[in-house]
Amino acid sequence: YEHVNKGSLTTRRHSIYANGQLVALRITRSSGGNDTRYVYRDHLGSIDAFTRVSGEVVERLAYDAWGKRRQPDWSDAAGQQSSAVTPRGFTGHEHLDDARLIHLNGRVYYPALGRFISADPFVQFPHNGQSLNRYSYGYVLMADRFDL
């Protein structure tokens, strides 16, 4: 649940989850115009689109290979595109749009450089030298690996 005040307008967002994944949002506005949005994801769990109950697409989102937001037509996101509905995006994680970072719940990621800016607090396999680089992820194979 999220309660957002912007000036005289109030928006309430109720997140609906199934099997640990965001599947829908119920949005209530003080100005009226309540809405339910359904979430569509890609193979990495990144949010691709939101639809209304009718199936009408109301918002599309896109990311480059490193998670940086871009326009749905794959052009660069001038000023960075952000969702009007949720801060969630690449691999389902929270985008901190003002700072242009992605919060991955254990570490913070900077998609413009394709690098973590905080070290992994856990070394999973200390006998493997690749695990000792605490700023890497998935043995540097982010294209097909992600956290839930």
Please report, for the chain, the start and end positions of each structural domain, with discontinuous segments joined by +. 2-140
Q: Is the dihedral of CA 52, 55, 57, 61 positive or negative?
A: positive
pLDDT of residue 27: 92
pLDDT of residue 142: 54
> Averaged over 66-73, what is the pLDDT?
86
pLDDT of residue 15: 93
Confidence of residue 144 (pLDDT cuts 50, 70, 90): low
Alpha-carbon separation of residue 147 from 28, 55, 125, 144 (angstroms)? 31, 29, 17, 11
Q: Is pLDDT above 90 for 131?
A: no
With contact defined as beta carbons under 8 Å apart, do 100 and 110 qualify? yes
pLDDT of residue 60: 92
Q: Is pLDDT above 60 for 123?
A: yes
Higher pLDDT, 145 or 109: 109
pTM of the model: 0.76
